[in-house]
Structure 1
């Protein structure tokens, strides 16, 4: 039976190994890593999926900031990566992890991610309606830049590492 636990209770090396298996060792060059910079994952929103004593999935959420072209800052949370052991993909582990993180974040927390719009839109209410003018520190497929939650900024601006750590909504 799979148990979802705070990611801080899991060996960080095991999480890194899982991420390498799920996304490849070149994952650090991706735009998402540049957006979040050297931030530390938000502990209350990051979870691990354990089957027995084996790590089979993880989700990490990161504090980031959006600086609009008028100089106004909005703190957001970047959801992901969602990693599932390749041998366990299709078992609903990723969906359970995302559901848990979103429940912990609450409906008021502005969230964003880079992911499949059909999946994240259908199951979790993310869309690209407000992200079309966002700039990132690397390439992104515009239709995969998704957001949800109260206070998601609209208009032109730059996503990047957080200037402060957002407090999850209750």
Structure 2
């Protein structure tokens, strides 16, 4: 399909205070939308949040949380967290894997070539090159047990920034 996806999968529940601490201090605006809308080019919200398979999905279409290097370690304290980025138009895919607040693996692939890497490749990466969205979604499933179909099918609460992001 050519998805444009960016966000975080956080093990367990992410509380209201943790969400409010994201860049832009977002707050629930009362609107709900499908994952198909959240991960489309027409979505105008700052963030969206859903729960899938015991993980909190935090959609980050403007990559505000992904860009802020303090967010991953903070939200991963005492749990696991996967950051994900996939853009079929620009042919760019990436993941970050945190365990108990520590970055274990970070990789970004553009046009089939790694452009940034940190950490040792994970066993779950075996046979995957992050050269296409299917690789990204397969790695998501291997690491979290959450398949992207469930992420896309979920109902999301829309969060709007209350401060400049």
TM-score (norm 2): 0.33
TM-score in terms of structure 1 length: 0.32
Which protein has the larger Cα radius of gyration, Structure 1 or Structure 2? 1
Structure having the higher helix fraction is 1
Larger RCO of the pair (alpha carbons < 8 Å, separation 6+):
2
